[in-house]
């Protein structure tokens, strides 16, 4: 242990002489639990590792009693109690197809969880034709799920291990949005007779809202809310407008942030800022087309965005209202400041500090929490330095 501390001290002293904006090569000090302070543009922060040993964690949710739920892509739902990972996974999780990018994905609480006890899980599951995203709700009782009910099944299920989505977000009216990917078959994102490459909208029990935009269109899946989405892995409600904002992966470049509106076509693969992998050749018809909604922000080259959250807490006053996006590529956290729907500031922080950031959430305590997509993944909290 003494030798480890000496090595950590040497690494910290070495980093301290570099410019503050330089890439921080500090992954080795995760074992110390608390990392040295890092100066961002607005705040000095400290990253505190709370839990280690998670296998490709995907999502975190906060229970009212202080416990946290964490999904592991391999199919396990874990409980963090008093800062410690419970050794036994939660029992009763539906069968999960953990392959490629698929597995146990998002977990969220019902807006009235205190009254009804419902939690919601999205996951890849096998069925006729292959694998696809499904959603189930269940009641959490002690360390098991009860009253498990499947409320959504992606149709059709197909082969391959790419682009499952999937974030779950409740809006202020209690509707459930489910974000999906096109499973690597890009042209299907424009078809209204299947769910691939769409965002769907349901009631909390799986019923289809009467005002869904394609409900009355012959041949269309009535669950569909938007189309032309490539692979949506981040979504959050805007704190002022209540609208759903989401980002999606582009191919080689062209990651997007979109404001999600009923019936909108976000263009994939007809229009995109991305290019074909490897060759860099053009995809589709360009970057704009009448009748297709352009992104409000995009990245070229890609950052490989993951979870996202608006900051509305009280621990970082200068960040209030900003949007935080996790990035798998370059292992960083991206902060965006908007004036209405226009980005006026982008900051890239914590680059290389933790690893591939898979999820970012605002906790009920006002801190930001992140998960890393690693075989030995961590749950970490971002705090004010000295706080």
In CATH terms, 33-384 corresponds, of 2.120.10.30, 2.70.70.10, 3.90.230.10, 3.40.1400.10, to 2.120.10.30
Spatial separation of the C-alpha atoms in residues 206 and 137, rounded to whole Å:
9
Q: How many residues does the chain have?
A: 387
Question: Which of 299, 295, 345 lies closest to 319 in space, CA to CA?
Answer: 345
The pair of structure tokens assigned to 5 is 């501390």
Model pLDDT, residue 29: 39
For position 36, what pLDDT does the model report? 83
3-state secondary structure at position 228: coil
β-pairing, 44-54 with 104-109?
unpaired
Tell me the catalytic residues: 163
Taking the C-alpha atoms of residue 294 and residue 258, their distance in angstroms, rounded to an integer, is: 8
Is the CB of residue 371 less than 8 Å from the CB of residue 60? yes
Instruction: Write down the pLDDT at residue 30.
Output: 44
State the pLDDT at residue 116.
95
- Summarised one tens digit per residue, pLDDT across range 111-160 is 999 999 999 999 999 999 999 999 999 999 989 999 999 999 999 999 99
Cα separation, 129 vs 143, whole angstroms? 33
- Alpha-carbon span 229 to 209, nearest angstrom: 21
Q: What is the predicted pLDDT for the residue at 34?
A: 74
Q: Is 139 exposed, middle or buried (0-12, 13-18, 19+ CB in 10 A)?
A: middle
- Taking Cα atoms as reference points, which of 333, 294, 310 lies closest to residue 235? 310
Please give the Cα distance from 377 to 60 (Å, whole number).
Answer: 13
Per-residue model confidence (pLDDT) at position 387: 52
Return d(Cα 383, Cα 43) in angstroms, integer: 10
Torsion over CA of 235, 236, 242 and 243, rounded to 10 degrees? -20
Element (H, E) at 130: strand 130-141
Q: E-strand spans in 154-280?
A: 168-170, 176-179, 199-202, 224-226, 232-237, 244-248, 255-260
Cβ atoms 287, 294 nearer than 8 A: yes
Under-50 pLDDT residues of the chain: 1-32
Domain ranges of the chain: 33-384
For residue 20 the two structure tokens come to: 């503050």
Query: What are the backbone dihedrals phi and psi of residue 353, each rounded to the nearest 5 degrees, phi first?
Result: -70, -45
Environment class of 174 (CB within 10 Å of its CB; exposed 0-12, middle 13-18, buried 19+): exposed
Q: What pLDDT shows up at residue 12?
A: 36
**How many CB atoms lie under 10 A from the CB of residue 70?**
25
Q: Which residue intervals of the chain are DSSP H helices?
A: 2-16, 113-116
The β-bridge partners of 91 are: 144
Residues 313, 123, 68: CA angle, nearest 5 degrees: 35
* 3-state helix, strand and coil shares in percent for the chain, rounded to the nearest 5: 10, 40, 50
Beta bridge partners of 297: 257
Give me the phi and psi of 115, to 5 degrees please: -90, -40
Tell if the pTM clears 0.85, that is, is over it: yes
Please name the residues in contact with 262: beta carbons below 8 A apart, sequence gap of 6 or more: 211, 212, 213, 225, 226
| pLDDT of the residue at 32 | 43
């Amino acid at each position: 242990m003494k030798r480890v501390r000496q090595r950590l001290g040497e690494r910290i002293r070495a980093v301290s002489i570099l410019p503050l904006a330089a890439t921080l090569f500090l992954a080795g000090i995760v074992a110390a639990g608390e990392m040295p302070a890092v100066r961002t543009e607005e705040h000095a922060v400290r990253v505190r590792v709370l839990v280690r040993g998670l296998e490709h964690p995907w999502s975190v949710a906060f229970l009212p009693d202080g416990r946290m739920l964490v999904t592991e892509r391999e199919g396990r739902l874990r409980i963090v109690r008093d800062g410690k990972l419970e050794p036994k996974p939660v029992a009763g999780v539906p069968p999960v197809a953990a392959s490629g990018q698929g597995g146990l994905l998002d977990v969220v609480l019902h807006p009235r969880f205190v009254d009804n006890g419902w939690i919601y899980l999205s996951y890849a599951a096998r069925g006729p034709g292959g694998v696809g995203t499904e959603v189930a709700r269940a009641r959490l009782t002690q360390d098991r799920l009860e009253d498990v009910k499947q409320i959504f099944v992606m149709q059709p299920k197909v082969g391959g291990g790419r682009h499952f989505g999937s974030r779950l977000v409740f809006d202020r009216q209690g509707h459930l949005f489910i974000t999906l990917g096109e499973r690597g078959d890009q042209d299907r994102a424009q078809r209204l007779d299947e769910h691939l490459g769409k965002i769907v909208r349901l009631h909390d029990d799986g019923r289809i809202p009467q005002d869904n935009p394609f409900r009355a269109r012959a041949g269309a899946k009535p669950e569909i809310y938007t189309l032309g989405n490539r692979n949506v892995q981040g979504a959050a409600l805007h704190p002022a407008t209540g609208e759903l904002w989401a980002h999606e992966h582009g191919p080689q470049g062209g990651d997007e942030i979109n404001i999600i509106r009923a019936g909108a076509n976000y263009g994939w693969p007809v229009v995109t800022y991305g290019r074909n992998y490897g060759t860099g050749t053009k995809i589709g018809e360009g970057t704009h087309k009448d009748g297709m909604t352009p992104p409000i922000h995009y990245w070229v080259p890609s950052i490989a965005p993951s979870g996202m959250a608006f900051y509305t807490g009280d621990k970082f006053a200068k960040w209030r209202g900003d949007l935080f996006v996790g990035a798998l590529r370059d292992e960083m956290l991206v902060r965006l400041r908007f004036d209405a729907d226009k980005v006026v500031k982008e900051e890239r922080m914590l680059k290389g500090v933790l690893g591939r950031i898979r999820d970012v959430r605002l906790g009920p305590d006002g801190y930001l929490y992140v998960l890393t997509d690693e075989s030995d993944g961590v749950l970490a909290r971002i705090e004010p330095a000295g706080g």
